[in-house]
Amino acid sequence: MTDYAIGDIQGCYERLQEVLATIGFSASRDRLWVAGDLINRGPSSLATLRFIESLDGAAEVVLGNHDLHLLAVVLGGHRPRGKDTLGDLLRAPDLDRLVEWLRQQSLCVYDPDRDILMAHAGLPHIWNVEQALGYANEVTSVIRGPASVEYFTHMYGNEPECWREDWTGMARWRLITNYFTRMRFIAEDGTLELNTKESADHAPVGFAPWFDYPRQDQTRIIFGHWAALEGSTPSDQFIGLDTGCVWGGALTVMNLDTGERTHCDC
């Protein structure tokens, strides 16, 4: 059995099948870690979501901001945005089943044997692994539970900007979500800057890429979300797998044990 991790698919179903064929992936033998943003912007969100859902126990999935956006449209009453490509999903006869499956996914997953954590945007330096798993579980419980409509109705926003343990309710849930699914640049005290989407060398004054801050652990962190990095980070501890497939870049899959990366040009 081989475990692979893949970056943002974003509805690029044909490229997904191409790169999986290249590595000889078999759901009966291998596992696929999916770093979020399964859907949206690409041409085949419905086929992509159906396929990942069909992998069942052969897939380890975390939610990305685009996945949460679909849930916010379906459950929170938000309207699709101009650049969304969710029409096939929203018209699908199995939409309710796919949405329910998506609600069961987490914001981060951790393999203690490999000491690898995966979250869509990464892990802020202000949290250790144990804290991160606890905070992710808080929001996962909300998404799966009776407060999900409230959560998705009020999920959007950049406030609050900085972590405090005494945040409660929607402010706490929104901030945890933003760290896990929208973070790029962050200040030393944990304040998020959520407007800048350029590459790592375009940090606003007072901020730096989240992976530039020292950590107390050696946990390897798999993330997607930041296509402008083109998969490049300053350390092997931080594994960026969003190589901009939907923007004409590549779809990248990595063997978790050897670190070998395979690309499918898009």
Supply the pLDDT for residue 86.
97
- The CATH number linked to 183 is 3.60.21.10
Tens digits of per-residue pLDDT, 155-214? 999 999 999 999 999 999 999 999 999 999 999 999 999 999 999 999 999 999 999 999
Supply the pLDDT for residue 42.
96
Number of domains the chain is built from: 1
Supply the pLDDT for residue 266.
86
Supply the pLDDT for residue 67.
98
In this structure, what token pair is assigned to residue 79? 């309207």
Domain that includes residue 208, residue range: 3-265
Supply the pLDDT for residue 106.
97
Which residues of the chain have a pLDDT value below 50? none
With 0.85 as the threshold, say if the pTM is over it. Answer: yes
